[in-house]
Structure 1
Amino acid sequence: MDTEDSSVTCSVVLEWLNELGSTVRKINHRTATLRLVRNIEREIFVEVRPEKNNQIIKLAIKGISVFNKFMAQGKASIKFQQNKCTLFLSNAPSAKLIGFLKTIFIKMTGHVPQSKGNCKNKFALKSLEGIQEISPATSTEVNRAKEKALAVSRATVTTPSPSSVRKRKFLEENGVKIPTAKKLYENPLVGEMTEEQKEVLKAVQCGRNVFFTGSAGTGKSYLLKKIISILPPDVTVATASTGVAACHIGGITLHQFAGIGLGSAVLERCYQLASRPSIASIWRRTKHLVIDEISMVDGEFFDKIEAVARHIRRNDKPFGGIQLILCGDFFQLPPIAKVNDQINYCFKSESWKKCVHFNYELKIVHRQSDPEFVKILNSIRIGRVTEDITNKLKATANQKIERNGILATRLCSHIKEADEINNFQLDELKGEVKEYNAHDSDESMMKTLDQQITVPSRLILKIGAQVMLLKNININKGLVNGARGVVTKFVDGMPSVLFRSGTNYLVKAEKWSVKLSTNAIVYRKQLPLKLAWAFSIHKSQGLTLDCVEMCLSRVFDAGQSYVALSRAQSLDSLRVIDFNEQQVWVNTDVLQFYKNFRRNRHEVEIIPLGKKLKIEKKNNYLTRS
């Protein structure tokens, strides 16, 4: 566990109530650090230490209740029953907040002995002498807390939210009431990071403008989510070049954020569009801007939003002083270009040279475990197709990759072709038709939801329908985003699906959320399924498919063949029909960019200074800090 899980820095409001429930005292700190400490009597306290004054407050963790529903948005509240005080936390890095609440949960339910004294002991509350910071939770404590959580029954409690009473699971031990929701003590972003991922994360924490790249399956999206989770939500905007990619990282499209439409207008008009109060306020409060799938951002558009940033923020620094975190692979799908127009990659823009100085490449592949297949994909990524590679890919044409009645998903170069195949195959099936309509929190946002999430607003199924799971349900059982299955029956109107892993799953509705530029969130509730006889290459970006076939004769973009092939888990789960080496090519500008990129990375020097590392700049490429 992170050694800093016993503290979190965020905005804090402390509110004390009297017996009648009226506010008698209220303190608001824009920035404060919360630490878990214990006194010599082993009692645990939350210490609130403001950034701008020495008014330290300690609250004993006894009889507390935690409201953690919005942890992913960096918000939570802790109600101290004995003190009649509630802590409202906001703008907290989500990973830090989850770690902090998890430590409270574990320390109070799996480790803390019975208190020996009064929680209002003057020494415990006021004296700094004898106060000791809580140590990180150990794996033994984590497992013990999980076991106790499984044994807890339901209880009804009033949460600290202003106007709602909700029924939730709570764990009560040693006077502590904490929701036992799985997410309280299991952070989905917790996992062993590689050294190369840690290097990027450290550069971001140091406030550097970074671009990190890597081949398909090297954990770029995982790292990006990790980065977003350590940044303050209120001043961080996560964006992506496409709606699906934006939804994947819990953000909005770059065009939504920028507020200048497609960016085709002259610069003065772009200034006017971005000066609208609702757009300008977002530009001004942003300190960290994340852009995923940067390979699909047009260079001219990038130049314009950089100029807009300086203009709106009245700051002449590159990008108006906003920290940039850029992620993507230029060997994959390029920006959309008009017919006969040259592709204008982002790295060719003037702004790229001014803004992006820290460059990293992730090289450890996690999606495919077969070294031979990884080697093939790395060669195809750079447009190199040997006779041996051609023969191995052609040999897959005769492979039988179907299992348990699950057919291979056909990857198509055009979205229309994929839709036609799915509709035709569904019509061919006999039997009862089941229709499932999504429930959207705002029906006027249906078009936006359709563009930004893969789950359809209207889903029609029959027994025998080939489907794809669109959400991670149970990783251990193979119920992951991209898993292939077939509908075997309907139970109480809901589809039962047999997946390729052999798991049967009675599918239930799940919820997706899309963040708008106004920070409002709209939801869609729908079955996490999509017809999967066919899928477009563009829509498959980011997916891992366990049973896939393709014919690449109609590919029209550089990198499109590589994106399609790299969706497969292995050569054994892949079928390529009529492969031809002419179907694989790479833009020469991209090859030159990566050639320069790698050469300059080798020229970087790391000079140790005591326990720290000094960052040396050379040819606009910098080392880790």
Structure 2
Amino acid sequence: MDHEDTSLTCSIRIEWTNAIGIVNKKVQCKNATLRLIRNDSRQIFVEIRYDKAAPIKLLLERLSVHKNFMKEGKATIKFLEIACSVYLTNAPPSQLVNFLRTMFVKMTGNVAKNEKSSSLRTQLLSSKSRQFEEISPVTESELYRAQKLATGKSSTTTPSPIRKRKLSDSSNSKPASAKRLYTSSSPIQNNPLDLEQKEVLEACLSGQNIFFTGSAGTGKSYLLRKIIGALPADVTVATASTGVAACHIGGITLHQFAGIGLGTSSVDKCIEMATKSASSILWKKCKHLIIDEVSMIDAEYFEKVETVARKIRKSDKPFGGIQLILCGDFFQLPPVSKANEKKKINFCFMSKAWKTCIHNTFELKKVHRQEEQEFIDILNEVRIGKVSAESEKVLVSTATQSIEQDGILATRLCSHTQDADLINESKLNALPGDVKVFDALDSNPAMGKTLDNQTTVPRRLELKIGAQVMLLKNINISKGLVNGARGVVKEFKDDYPLIKFRRELYLAVPERWSVKTTSGVAARKQVPLRLAWAFSIHKSQGLTLDCVEMSLGRVFEAGQAYVALSRAQSLKTLRVLDFRATQVWANPDVLDFYNKLKIRQDCMSLVPLGMRNKSNKSKTNNTNTLRGISKSLLNKPLINIS
């Protein structure tokens, strides 16, 4: 943790109430700064600065914190001693979580010191003559002490009542609320950003319109969630081209947000549709628009969305003045074409709107999913549609290797969804014993179809002992219980399936998924499993599979083979049947786009060497030298298209 965790910028509303609960004083501000400070008596305060008014200092003692909507940038801190409530809104979610965590940890440390208490009124009056200083960042020992308190007995400083987790594994007795707020259990919190990712985050926070890309496994989704968490929640809209991708980042589909459906109508009709729908409110409120998996948005649709943005927001600026943050890899799955329609694919980077809107492009190059350099090199070849004889030999050799372990079979990746469904159904029917059925509990049954499309979790799950399954949620990263982990049903215990994974036994109890729509939030509660004898390549996007088999003979579009191969964690856990180099190809327009991107990045990285000369003549010579180098680069493609 750093000093940013001791401060927070957001909108506030502060209310003081009397003995019967009537508000007798209120303060409200759209842009306030909260800081954690300490006086010379080691008492901790939250200082609130707003407008040009004198700062408000509130002692952190006897609190109640409501934090159910932290992901939306909202929380409430109730100061019970003085009947004061501080309502926080439009806070960057990650900043809000870190601020509340730091607050809890520091308060825990103060409790251990057993300081003599006095009335809050006396403390506040006497504090006027005292010196205040900003609180230091949280140390490891303070965090450890706070975690022990969160998982043990409560105290007067615990921010909110801790509820015991229901339907949980007996080995995990930690309360859900404590785990969510005070520990770093998610991969986003555990792994710091690398230099490439930090550069992208800084560009986003500086207000630039950007597109960032990278090969599979470079942490694009991971970085995107960090960006979403760092921006003000109320004016940031996270979208994606597909429902599953939108669910992964806690957003909605671009089609839902735009309010123009599939965009098949004329531009004028699309503007009319968006203006009359609930989307118009979101358009006017939005300041930061995020689009994930942008490779699946075609040029025509991108143009229409950009036009709608300008018209609804009544602004001639690109995208109506909204900051645009795009993410995706055009070497992976292209825009979906209509059935039986064979026409040239026009990627969104080929549109006029792209050239007008996107100011900076970044490429992540460090691969996090795979660790074997040999496999990374092979995937880089496959990505651009080129497979050397040596790489082909390595992939062909995987056909005979045994990757099964402890009864866990390899998941077969299929190019067609119906093939995967047929394999799973036939394999389940072939198992002996009775079927155990798990029906999902949806918050709104009318939203069942939306939940089917935007989550990977099935509405109805049928299992038997011996069924091959895949975990659909990150449960415990350190134990390997992550999204995409493979296991087998060993037995049913307390009406729930006990799953044997490679490193762990796990009792699969219902988990919750939620998806956002323009009309609200829909939620589904279901056992976090799916049959995994087979899986479609399209639905595997974003997954990391630790035991996977594939036959690429029926791939039908550019990048499909690359998506399938890049799901594997290593060559040792991969089996490719009947591999041929002809199954791998890349779209020529995409190759050209990335070739030009590489040239631009190389040109921008060129700087004059030697001492700076102040004369205009030297400056001109340096400029001409750079232009000459840039020109030579433009004439030398960095990716061979032939």
Same structural fold, with TM-score higher than 0.5 when normalized by the shorter chain: yes
The question of whether the paired residues in 1 share the 8 Å contact of 2:39 and 2:127 is answered with: no
The question of whether the paired residues in 2 share the 8 Å contact of 1:156 and 1:168 is answered with: no
User: How far is 1:125 from its partner?
Assistant: 7.1
The question of whether the paired residues in 1 share the 8 Å contact of 2:62 and 2:156 is answered with: no
Change (3 A) 1:125 1:38: farther
Q: What is the distance in 2 between the residues matched to 1:428 and 1:184? A: 45
User: How far is 1:30 from its partner?
Assistant: 2.0
Give the AA of the match of 1:102.
R
RMSD of aligned alpha carbons: 2.3
Q: What is the distance in 2 between the residues matched to 1:228 and 1:298? A: 24
Q: Is structure 2 residue 345 aligned with structure 1 residue 343?
A: yes
Q: What is the distance in 1 between the residues matched to 2:310 and 2:569? A: 44
The question of whether the paired residues in 2 share the 8 Å contact of 1:494 and 1:508 is answered with: yes
Q: Mean alpha-carbon deviation: is it higher for 98-107 or for 144-153? A: 144-153
Counterpart of 1:290 in structure 2 is: 290
Change (3 A) 1:114 1:399: same
User: How far is 1:422 from its partner?
Assistant: 0.5
Counterpart of 1:96 in structure 2 is: 95
| TM-score normalised to structure 1 length | 0.91
Give the AA of the match of 2:318.
P
Q: How does 1:154-173 map to 2 (within 5 A)?
A: 168=163
Number of residue-to-residue matches in the alignment: 595
User: Helix, strand or coil: the match of 2:387?
Assistant: coil
Q: What is the distance in 2 between the residues matched to 1:461 and 1:596? A: 50
Counterpart of 1:152 in structure 2 is: 153
Give the AA of the match of 1:35.
R
Change (3 A) 1:382 1:126: same
Q: Mean alpha-carbon deviation: is it higher for 38-47 or for 538-547? A: 38-47
| TM-score normalised to structure 2 length | 0.89
Give the AA of the match of 1:136.
P
Structure 2: unaligned runs, 5 residues or longer: 166-174, 609-626, 631-642
The question of whether the paired residues in 2 share the 8 Å contact of 1:235 and 1:287 is answered with: yes
Give the AA of the match of 1:381.
R
Give the AA of the match of 1:335.
P
The question of whether the paired residues in 1 share the 8 Å contact of 2:40 and 2:132 is answered with: yes
Please list the CA deviations of residues 550-575 of structure 1 after superposition, one character each: whole Å capped at 9, or x if unmatched.
00000011000000000000000000
- Greater helix share, structure number: 2
Q: What is the distance in 2 between the residues matched to 1:438 and 1:531? A: 15
Q: What is the distance in 2 between the residues matched to 1:386 and 1:125? A: 76
Counterpart of 1:40 in structure 2 is: 40
Give the AA of the match of 1:194.
D
User: How far is 1:2 from its partner?
Assistant: 2.9
Q: What is the distance in 2 between the residues matched to 1:397 and 1:428? A: 25
Q: Is structure 2 residue 508 aligned with structure 1 residue 511?
A: no
User: How far is 1:180 from its partner?
Assistant: 5.8
User: How far is 1:111 from its partner?
Assistant: 5.1
The question of whether the paired residues in 2 share the 8 Å contact of 1:154 and 1:168 is answered with: no
Q: Mean alpha-carbon deviation: is it higher for 236-245 or for 186-195? A: 186-195
The question of whether the paired residues in 2 share the 8 Å contact of 1:58 and 1:125 is answered with: no
The question of whether the paired residues in 1 share the 8 Å contact of 2:300 and 2:351 is answered with: yes
Q: How does 1:528-567 map to 2 (within 5 A)?
A: 528-567=528-567
Counterpart of 2:595 in structure 1 is: 595
Give the AA of the match of 2:55.
I
Counterpart of 2:458 in structure 1 is: 456
Q: What is the distance in 2 between the residues matched to 1:425 and 1:279? A: 44
User: Helix, strand or coil: the match of 1:332?
Assistant: coil
The question of whether the paired residues in 1 share the 8 Å contact of 2:107 and 2:157 is answered with: no
Change (3 A) 1:438 1:123: closer
The question of whether the paired residues in 2 share the 8 Å contact of 1:8 and 1:97 is answered with: yes
Please list the CA deviations of residues 525-554 of structure 1 after superposition, one character each: whole Å capped at 9, or x if unmatched.
000000000000000000000000000000
Q: Is structure 2 residue 131 aligned with structure 1 residue 130?
A: yes
Q: What is the distance in 1 between the residues matched to 2:391 and 2:176? A: 54
Q: How does 1:271-310 map to 2 (within 5 A)?
A: 271-310=271-310
Q: What is the distance in 1 between the residues matched to 2:475 and 2:206? A: 35
The question of whether the paired residues in 2 share the 8 Å contact of 1:336 and 1:343 is answered with: no
Counterpart of 1:186 in structure 2 is: 183
Please list the CA deviations of residues 192-237 of structure 1 after superposition, one character each: whole Å capped at 9, or x if unmatched.
1100000000000100011110000000000000000011111100
Counterpart of 1:614 in structure 2 is: none
Please list the CA deviations of residues 70-103 of structure 1 after superposition, one character each: whole Å capped at 9, or x if unmatched.
2122111111111111111111111100111011
Identity %: 56
Counterpart of 2:417 in structure 1 is: 415
Q: Is structure 2 residue 143 aligned with structure 1 residue 142?
A: yes
Change (3 A) 1:124 1:211: farther
User: Helix, strand or coil: the match of 2:121?
Assistant: coil
Change (3 A) 1:180 1:587: closer
Change (3 A) 1:607 1:90: farther
- Greater strand share, structure number: 1
Q: How does 1:376-525 map to 2 (within 5 A)?
A: 376-501=378-503, 503-518=504-519, 520-525=520-525
Structure 1: unaligned runs, 5 residues or longer: 160-165, 171-177, 609-617, 620-625
Q: Mean alpha-carbon deviation: is it higher for 599-608 or for 290-299? A: 599-608
Change (3 A) 1:410 1:127: same
User: How far is 1:141 from its partner?
Assistant: 1.6
